[in-house]
């Protein structure tokens, strides 16, 4: 069995949508992992992404040509949706009945992660589905401009769901660190305790919107809060807290003075998360306006600059 995996766009001028996150970044992240996981399971995989394209049509033609000339058995194009900020969920396009049979389990596995089920849809208007010679699907993983979807989004779980949908086999996942094997007793880990305290101070809640119990044990609550923090920090490829996680936490705890048109980076991403501004890590005019609204509603000096007063309010 040979798969053709197409990471949508990523071939300027063929670029994807931009919302809270960039479609190009996510299709590449998920696609890269899907390819690796399929290969780990023993499948041969053709990466159908062109390295360059002269036009959008040329980009699409090259993807189809890669699939057809390599005679892959199943073609999978990975995309992310964008609409009006309100729409959310997963949909998978197919044209043939063979394609629909492949689409359904992929959709079901992604939806099992918590995304709204938008169904298997007719993709006869889609160039790559119309022109590939084999059963083909196009996965719209979720909406990059939906806060709900982006909070839920995790690269590794998305890739695992797609691979399980395609093969019926769940890719082997590294066991969560500090959790021990089921037979060994779970004991408190100081590093995990430190992480729980940091996430609580940062007001990063678990999947149920609750603060973490500071017990030094990595359970689903701590894992979901960690995933959420990684997603905010643009570290969603991490499945567990690591050096990059701690670097980001330290950067925030340093409470740097953030000024419009000057500040960038992890502290800005965190700020944007807290004041409900689009998270892009750049302190532009929209972020400045949101800072002012936050200062106003918290009875702080309204200057649009995040100094010690505003940091005190944000993280104490
Ligand atoms: Zn797309």
219 has a pLDDT exceeding 90: no
What's residue 186's pLDDT? 61
Residue 152 CA: distances (Å) to CA of 32, 41, 66, 173, 292 = 20, 26, 33, 19, 28
Cα-to-centroid distance, 88 and ligand 1 (Å): 15
Stretch 31-56: mean pLDDT, rounded?
A: 94
Q: Does residue 153 have a pLDDT over 90?
A: yes
CA 288 / ligand 1 centre spacing (Å): 30
DSSP label of 55: S
Q: Does the pLDDT of residue 266 top 90, yes or no?
A: yes
284 touches 276 (CB < 8 A): no
270-314 tens-digit pLDDT:
999 999 899 999 999 999 999 999 999 999 999 999 999 999 999
| Cβ partners under 8 Å of residue 94, min gap 6 | 100, 102, 103, 120, 121, 122, 123, 129, 135, 136, 137, 138
Structural domains of the chain, ranges and CATH numbers in brackets: 2-167 (3.40.630.40), 190-315 (1.10.101.10)
Percent of the chain at pLDDT above 90? 83
User: Which residues 6+ apart lie within 8 Å of 190 measured at CB?
Assistant: 216
235 within 8 A of 245, measured Cβ to Cβ: yes
The CA distances from residue 145 to 22, 153, 175, 242, 277, in Å, are: 9, 12, 31, 28, 12
Residues with CB under 5 A from ligand 1 (ion): 8, 16, 79
Q: How far does the centroid of ligand 1 lie from the alpha carbon of residue 79, in Å?
A: 4
The residue-averaged pLDDT of 255-272 equals 91
Q: Both tokens of residue 272? A: 């944007």
Cβ neighbours around 228 below 10 Å, total: 21
* Cβ–Cβ under 8 Å, residues 144 and 81: yes
Ligand 1 midpoint to CA 89 (Å): 14
Among the listed ranges 72-76, 116-120, 210-214, which one has the minimum average pLDDT value?
210-214
> Over 90: is that where the pLDDT of 224 sits?
yes
User: For position 174, what pLDDT does the model report?
Assistant: 40
pLDDT digits (tens, 9 = 90+) for 159-211: 999 999 999 998 865 444 444 444 445 678 888 999 999 999 999 999 888 99
247 pLDDT tier (thresholds 50, 70, 90): very high
Q: In the predicted model, what is the mean pLDDT of the chain? A: 92
- 273's CB contacts (< 8 A; 6+ apart) are 232, 279
pLDDT of residue 73: 97
């Amino acid at each position: 069995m040979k798969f053709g995996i197409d990471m949508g766009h990523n071939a300027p001028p063929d670029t994807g949508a931009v919302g809270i996150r960039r479609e190009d970044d996510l299709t590449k992240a998920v696609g890269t992992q899907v390819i690796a996981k399929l290969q780990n399971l023993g499948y041969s995989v053709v990466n159908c992404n062109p390295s360059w394209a002269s036009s959008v049509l040329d980009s699409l033609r090259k993807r189809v040509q890669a699939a057809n000339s390599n005679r892959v058995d199943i073609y999978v194009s990975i995309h992310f949706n964008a609409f009006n900020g309100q729409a959310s969920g997963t949909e998978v396009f197919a044209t043939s009945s063979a394609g629909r049979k492949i689409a359904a389990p992929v959709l079901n596995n992604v939806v099992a992660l918590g995304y709204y089920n938008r169904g298997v849809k007719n993709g006869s208007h889609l160039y790559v589905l119309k022109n590939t010679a084999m059963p083909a699907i196009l996965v719209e993983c979720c909406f990059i401009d939906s806060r709900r979807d982006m909070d839920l989004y995790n690269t590794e779980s998305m890739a695992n769901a797609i691979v399980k949908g395609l093969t019926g086999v769940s890719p082997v996942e590294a066991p969560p660190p500090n959790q021990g094997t089921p037979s060994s007793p779970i004991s408190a880990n100081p590093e995990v305790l430190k992480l729980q305290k940091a996430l609580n101070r940062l007001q990063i809640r678990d999947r149920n919107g609750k603060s973490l119990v500071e017990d030094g044990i990595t359970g689903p609550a701590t894992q979901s809060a960690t995933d959420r923090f990684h997603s905010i920090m643009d570290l969603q490829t991490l499945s567990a807290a690591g050096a990059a996680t701690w670097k980001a936490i330290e950067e925030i705890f340093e409470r740097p003075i953030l000024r419009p048109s000057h500040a960038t980076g992890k502290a800005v991403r965190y700020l944007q998360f807290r004041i409900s501004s689009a998270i892009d890590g750049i302190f532009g005019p929209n972020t400045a306006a949101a800072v002012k609204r936050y200062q106003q509603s918290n009875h702080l000096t309204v200057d649009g600059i995040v100094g010690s007063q505003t940091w005190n309010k944000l993280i104490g």
